Amino acid sequence: MLRNILARLSSIKTTTEKNLFINEYQNWIHNYKDFVLSLPRTQIASKDLKRTMILINNALADMFYYLTDPKVHPTTNALEGFHSRLKADYRRHRGLIHEHKLQYLKWYCYFENTN
């Protein structure tokens, strides 16, 4: 059930859909929270479920900025792509001293943000 609720998360495009998601999630929490918390701590599946609940609870207030701010991406794909390129470019310059590494990262971020 929770998996079905979370599967629709990436398709939310309106405030109405956001509110529907939040209501469905809160209903799920209301119905299953005690059961999930009573699961044995030794099982990996129950640990993952508890972690997921905590993650969603902590992120819920900040999950939907993209609905009102066009500069905010709805997923982290753009950020992950940026870090992948940064890491690949950074590795080409392995011989830099610490001070030069910091300068390289600052310049890299500056030029990436001016495009």
Confidence of residue 113 (pLDDT cuts 50, 70, 90): confident
Confidence of residue 67 (pLDDT cuts 50, 70, 90): very high
The predicted structure's pLDDT at residue 88: 85
Percent helix, strand and coil across the chain, each rounded to 5? Answer: 75, 0, 25
Confidence of residue 23 (pLDDT cuts 50, 70, 90): very high
Tell me the range of 1-15, 39-53, 86-100 where mean pLDDT is highest: 1-15
Residue 24: is its pLDDT beyond 90?
yes
3 versus 114: which is more confidently predicted? 3
Residue 115: is its pLDDT beyond 70?
no
| Rounded-to-integer distance, Cα 63 and Cα 56, Å | 9
| Rounded-to-integer distance, Cα 86 and Cα 99, Å | 17
| pLDDT tens per residue across span 78-87 | 778 888 888 8
How high is the mean pLDDT of the chain? Answer: 88
Mean pLDDT for 94-106 is 87
